[in-house]
Chain A
Amino acid sequence: MNAALKYIVPAAVGVTALLLWEWRVHASGISPLVLAAPSDIWAAFLANFDVLMGALWTTLRVTMIAFVFAVFGGVAVAILFSQSRLIEFAFYPFAIILQVTPVVAIAPLLLIWIGYDNITTVLVVLAWIISFFSILSNMVVGLRSADHNLVDLLKLYGASRWQIFWRLQLPGALPYLLSGMKVSGGLALIGAVTAELVAGSGNDTGLGWIITLAGRNLETAKVFAALAMLSVLGIAIFFALTALEWALLHRWHDSAVKKQS
């Protein structure tokens, strides 16, 4: 497909959908409390610009802190697992338990333990719980996927365990880590918003809490405006991580190399 068409086609579909949406809302007389027209959403966005941008920054900050902790924590735990089967057997089931337990169910406990005066920390912890596991599981697989012949070769040359890890396992795991980061980045955002929906908001109000409040006040256009900002933020995180993946892998890994046709 022509490269330009890859952008033009989805943009055209999006614009057409917005126009149809606008027309349908006005033509059918649907109450703006039920479904706001795109023009109303844009107006709500402009009217609440400062509040929404502040909330966006709050959500982004929680997302990024949780994501960074997920990356460092996931990589660190995966390294521990890769170095000792015993440690993996001992702790991996608990990592899975943490992953499969709904974050909504953990929130009340965290609120009690961390405190209602420390909501931001609760939000970060909840977002971290959601985003941590994809880093851990991808990194564990990546560290295990080192070419066995290369491992043997390094052993033949007298490489220490540290040298095998540093020169072989870690760089070999990079594509897996970056793949996990793309999933984890989105999950951290979902986690941050979900956490706000269930744990409320601290001193700073995020987009999740804006949606909660606007929903209660039947400010449907404002809800849509916040939702649109979350979508844009999610897409931005995905593209930023995709760009990072390309920058680090494009010279050597098939996943980032353009297909020759």
Chain B
Amino acid sequence: MTALLSLSGVSRRFDNGTQAIARLDMDVAPREFVSLVGPSGCGKSTALRIIAGLLTPDTGTVTFPDEKPEIGFVFQEPTLMPWGSALTNVRLPLDLEHMNRGESNDRAARALKRVGLSGFEKAFPRELSGGMKMRVSIARAIAAEPKLLLMDEPFAALDELTRQALNDDLLKLWAEDELTVIFVTHSVYESTYLSSRVVVMTPRPGRVAADIALSPPPIRDESYRLTPDFTQAAGRVSAALKHAMAA
């Protein structure tokens, strides 16, 4: 299958001299759910920003063999405009492309409904819980109907139950919208639950230490976390991460 995107020999050094990424080679196929796992500072977020085009690599290239897809981005923080209602926030990417107000409102309201926030259109971010804010952030990302969704530790600050609920909602969106997702996380269990593939990175400067293909059931729920398959898959990711850290 033709890759949706390819990273080839990508490296990046910051102005302060820190080499964030040494050399990153990676292909991502359409509809894959890839998690980037690695210790803090290994360049996961930098890689995501390079893919998004927010940073340029010092060496190497990011190529999209077909045309560059519409990209959605979800940050670790909800990154909402505090002065705007949930609807206004979700509508942002649509407003930027000058979509007419009626259509953009409809699409934003639909996106909010899909993340379980129907009825909260007029709520301001400060009136929402952490999990709800993150749902608004995801709604904003899917409202623009992206093909590639980049997520930078989006659920790291949430409690475990909210995180698991959002994991399931994300999988549903991934399946329904035929998305390709690149998901940065520190959590071995989260990456194992969500991904069809886990890329483990070395400590700074980041390189690919292991590329692990997983075979989770296409439809999974709470019970999957208790299966031997899940435990075994998590064990593989965990072992690869320990090996990468020790290297």
Contacts and interface: CB of A to CB of B under 8 A. Distances in A.
- A and B pair up: yes
Interface residues of A, number: 22
A168 B81 contact: yes
A152 B92 contact: no
Of B53, B73, B81, B144, most A-chain CB atoms within 10 Å = B81
Interface string A124-168: 000000000000000000000001011011111111000100011
B79 interface: yes
A253 interface: yes
A165 to B, nearest CB: 13
Contact of A157 (B49, B75, B97): B97
A50 interface: no
B96 A154 contact: yes
A252 B124 contact: yes
Contacts of B144: 157
Given A156-B52, A156-B73, A157-B97, A252 B126 contact: yes
Contacts of A102: none
A174 B81 CA distance: 13
A216 interface: no
Greatest chain B CB density within 10 A among A147, A172, A257 is at A147
A143 to B, nearest CB: 15
A54 interface: no
B245 interface: no
A253 B82 contact: yes
A147 B53 contact: no
B92 A156 contact: no
A172 B144 CA distance: 23
Given A167-B95, A252-B125, A156 B54 contact: yes
Interface residues of B, number: 21
Given A157-B92, A257-B126, A252 B82 contact: yes
B82 A149 contact: no
A257 B124 CA distance: 12
A251 interface: yes
Q: Which of A157, A168, A254, A257 has the most CB of B within 10 A?
A: A157
Contacts of B49: 152
Contacts of A167: 81, 92, 95-96
B108 to A, nearest CB: 14
Given A149-B77, A152-B54, A252-B124, A157 B96 contact: yes
A156 B72 CA distance: 8
Interface string B120-153: 0000111000000000000000001000000000
A163 B82 CA distance: 17
Contact of A156 (B53, B83, B95, B125): B53
Given A251-B124, A252-B124, A252-B125, A153 B73 contact: yes
Contact of B97 (A158, A174, A252, A253): A158
Contact of B79 (A147, A157, A252, A257): A147
A152 B95 CA distance: 16
A253 B126 CA distance: 8
A171 interface: yes
B43 interface: no
Contacts of B81: 150, 167-168, 171-172
B210 interface: no
Contacts of A251: 124
Contact of A153 (B53, B79, B97): B79
21 contacts: A147-B79, A149-B75, A150-B81, A153-B73, A154-B92, A155-B54, A156-B52, A156-B53, A156-B54, A156-B71, A157-B97, A158-B97, A167-B92, A167-B96, A171-B83, A251-B124, A252-B126, A253-B82, A253-B83, A254-B126, A257-B126
Across the A-B interface, give the 4 residue pairs with the lowest CB-CB distance, nearest first.
Answer: A149-B79, A157-B93, A252-B82, A149-B75
Interface of B: 49, 52-54, 71, 73, 75, 77, 79, 81-83, 92-93, 95-97, 124-126, 144
